[in-house]
Amino acid sequence: MTGARVAIVTGASSGIGEACAARFAERGLRVYGASRNPNFRPERFRPLLMDVTSTDSVARAVEEVARRENRIDVVVNGAGFGLAGSIEDTSLDEAVKQFETNFFGVFRVCRAVLPRMRQQRDGLIINIGSLGGLFSLPFQGFYSASKFALEGLSESLRQEVYAFGIRVVLLEPGDVLSRFTENRVLAAGASAQSAYEPVFRKALEIIESDERHGSSPESVAAVASKLIGLRRPRVRYALGRIDQRMALALKKLIPSKYFSRVVMSHYGLLSPHDRASAASSNEPPRAA
């Protein structure tokens, strides 16, 4: 390969996407930062108009990069948002919108870049998953579901494109301090009239506090940058705070029903009586 590597990073307007785009540019890659509102500073990386929920928009953007550069070496699928609210309070339209960005958006981008990468017989696709795609989170059911789905898609894609020299990797950060928190969408049914309102608001306060004390987007970008030089990267890399990565290890060690109680306790979904009972006996606690 001659010349600089070419990268496309979606969700480059903020957070992990922006950090990855900036880090890659510092390494000398020719970076196209994709967003629905590409208002980036030109000296950092090249803005690219792309709406990952539109197949036509994705196709046009990828074709523009391919035409300019004649190659695409690295893709980071960082576009995404969080939807919060109970599953019962979430409408079908809201759930579909979550998947259109977090799951089908990744699918659209992968499908658009793969012909070029196959032709090159080389390429790296980094999908930004989440620890929430490895264990579910209360009141973030559709966010977790979209990330669980991304796990399966990425594993299958990795197997299918191996013979073409294309590497597919999942990065699975825990809570990250970014605009993800302020950009979270609340389900319309998550109102004061909801039966879940008291526990939802309590859990949401904990969720947002964890995010405000999360790891930096730059720490995720640093790992993504290291992957560029690896010929045989791992399937997935769990990232973030040590306590959250330990929760993933704990899930593998204890029965699911006990792990579920650990999660529920963290988010305030067990009453004090239930927590005391769980600590003093083998009887399963009751949900608050």
Q: Would you name the residues annotated as active-site residues?
A: 143
- Alpha helices (H) in 173-216, listed in sequence order: 197-212
Determine whether 195 is exposed, middle or buried from the number of CB atoms within 10 Å of its CB (0-12, 13-18, 19+): exposed
- Classify residue 132 by its DSSP letter: G
Q: What is the dihedral of CA 110, 112, 115, 120, to 10 degrees?
A: -70
Do the beta carbons of residue 250 and residue 182 sit within 8 Å? Answer: no
Q: Which amino acid is at 207?
A: I
CA-closest candidate to residue 77, choices 9, 130, 30: 9
